[in-house]
Structure formats: structure tokens, C-alpha cells
Amino acid sequence: MHNTKMLHKLALYFAEHGLPASYFHFKRDGRKPVSDRDTITCIGPWPYVLRMLKEHHRDYWDLAQPTQEFKEEHNKKDPLEALRAGTTEK
């Protein structure tokens, strides 16, 4: 049995901040409401956590998914473009 209070805290957090790309991104996030160790210990492995969020907190799960506009915005940015613009050939 998973910890429902902890799962609810995670669902609210993910609805506000979005789903992390992986468990390691979640682990490095300093703003998370529950430690990664407590999450794994009280709820279960990361895929199980995501499955439980999807099953028990469907509305928050839908809010946590990135929108199409967000995906397009991040795909268009080229991080090296600013560097290329600043260099001149001799």
C-alpha cells in the first residue's frame, strides 16, 4: 500500500511545476515537497510512483503534462545560436 498523503503532495507539486524528465531530475530538484528517498521507500519505485499518480490523481496528471506550445518553444531554441552570432571570422 502506498502513502496516499505523500502521493497527493507529489501530484500537487507536479501539477504546478510539471513532470520531471526522469527520476534523476526529480532527485536533483531542491524544491520538491518530499525527499526522493522517502518517495521510493513509502510509495515504491519511480515507474510505480508515476503509474499511481496517473491512476489516482488523473486531473493533476493531465495538468503536469507539457503542452504542445511548451514543446514547440523548447524545440526551437538553439543554445549555440548566441555564440555563433557573437563570433566573427578573421
**Structure confidence at residue 67 (pLDDT):** 64
Q: Is the pLDDT of residue 5 over 60?
A: yes
Region of 88 on the Ramachandran plot (φ > 0 left; ψ -120 to 50 alpha; else beta): beta
Of the pLDDT bands very low, low, confident and very high (cuts 50, 70, 90), residue 89 is: low
Quick one: cell of 90? 578573421
* 14: Cα within 13 Å, side-chain hemisphere: 28
**How do residues 60-88 score in pLDDT, each as one tens digit?**
998 888 765 555 555 666 667 767 766 66
Q: What is the pTM of this model?
A: 0.69
CB 3 within 8 A of CB 53: no
**How do residues 36-59 score in pLDDT, each as one tens digit?**
899 999 999 999 999 999 999 999
CB 1 within 8 A of CB 15: no
